[in-house]
Amino acid sequence: MDFKKPKFTKVSKAVWEVSKSFKAGMLVPARIYATEKLLKEMDFQVFDQIANVASLPGIQNYAFGMPDSHSGYGFPIGGVAAFDINDEGVISPGGIGFDINCGMRLVMTNLTVEQVRPKIKDITDNLFKSVPAGVGSQSKLKLTKDEFKEIANLGSTWAVKKGYGWSEDLHVTELNGFADWADSSKISDKVISRGIKQMGTLGSGNHYLEVQYIKPGYIKDQKLAKKWGLFEGQVVIMFHCGSRGAGHQIASDYLSSFLDVMDRKYKIKVYDRELACAPFNSKDGQDYYKAMGCGVNISFVNRQLIMHKIREVFSNVFKKEPEKLGMRQLFDVAHNRASLEKHEVDGEDRELLVHRKGSTASYPPGRKEIPRTFIKDGSPVIIGGSMETGSYLLVGASNAKETFDSTAHGSGRTMSRTKAKKMFDGQALFKKMLSNGIYVKSASWSGLAEESGESYKDLEEVVNSTEISGLSRRVCKFAPLGNVKG
């Protein structure tokens, strides 16, 4: 299908507007946050999808595309939209994603790269053994259906109570690791059957577990980095994963039910069936919101269990307890969720449901959503790059109020996985990375090939876009050392 390119109005150096006249039915304009270089590289389907989002009932101000935007299911990945729940606002699974609450977690150590580099093969191999990765990977943790429902209802509080983490982990996790609106009676038996064997697993695609370090010159905000416990030469661990098959099934179940009731029951018409939705305050909307909360909790527990294994591996390799290795969690932040938040629209505070799909919350100092640890600083933002280029830790900036406190979530793909597998050879990529000082352990050569650095946008250009537009700003960059790939 051919997609037309809109006419852009330049709002500022890295902000571009698409008027409502671009596509019939748009209720608000669209805005793309990107440098001119990134804008020119975006596939036209991004613009078509963001225009479709701008047509959804109850949308406020603009439909947004972040610098890492690329085409997705319904919403583009990197899409943001806020809906007034008291004025026809809807909830849409396509604006949240199949991997509900997929996110990033950053764990610190007091180890240096000089201590870790000689052991990186041993560490990475053991992480690969301890954290199941790849398509269909299954957990070593045996759970009953009742235990899985507890996980869906309680989130990371369940994991910490069971000994899979420290109480302080909760204080540096979004929502304290617990979506309190979750209700496991709203998820199907199929959700349970798909999720029960996948807790504590990495999965495939762009999910990874990476040992990283801070090179000289990589700290961009010395004061904040020091306050948060970061220093040059330090080794950290970053990983990216979500709710796996359970989240996918929740999204599939409710997309199907919304398609059935959307027009017949609520008289809502959309320009793309992938944007199936229901009024947030309807029974259907509330059922999905509560089921989504289960996906959020499942995702938090999945990452909590993985972190527990990471601590065990480092403890075994270095013959010290995790506490003595300084293995504190810095933050856990999601980029596939809809959140109820109050924002100012037309001079008044409104209760909005902010959909962030492939987009990270970027709260400036003082917002109530920020964990107390960071309330005076702004929320940490973790942006994963490709496994060849490194990743970033940013912090929320004041201009993010324009995007309902949202920013990018990663580099964003420039080519499909199918194309990447045709263009790149996994074994050759492994050798190339090894020659560059990066040891990678992957479940398959094809899975490695599809995650090559050339498959992603320029990380620096993406981060520049967020800084120029004032959505978030740099704190620190991390370089890859060892990588576990699904």
**Residues tagged active-site:** 409
Q: List the structure tokens of 79.
A: 């899409």
Give ∠ CA 380-382-386 in degrees, rounded to 5.
Answer: 165
Residues 6+ apart with CB under 8 A from 285: 90, 91, 278, 279
* C-alpha count within 13 angstroms, C-beta hemisphere, residue 163: 1
Q: Which residues pair with 77 in a beta bridge?
A: 70
Report DSSP state, residue 7: P
Among 54, 47, 91, CA closest to 72: 47
Residue with tokens 């069971």: 162
- On the 0-12 / 13-18 / 19+ scale of CB atoms within 10 A, 7 is exposed
Helix, strand or coil for residue 33? strand
Contact 236, 109 (CB under 8 A): yes
Cα end-to-end span (Å), the chain: 31
DSSP calls for 402-428? GGTSEE--B--BSS-HHHHHHH--HHH
Euclidean distance between CA atoms 106 and 393, whole angstroms: 9
Extended strands (E) in 335-384: 336-345, 348-357, 360-361, 380-383
Q: Are strands 391-396 and 90-91 parallel, antiparallel or unpaired?
A: unpaired
CA-based radius of gyration for the chain: 21
Residues 6+ apart with CB under 8 A from 66: 33, 34, 78, 79, 80, 358, 359, 403, 406, 407, 408, 409, 466
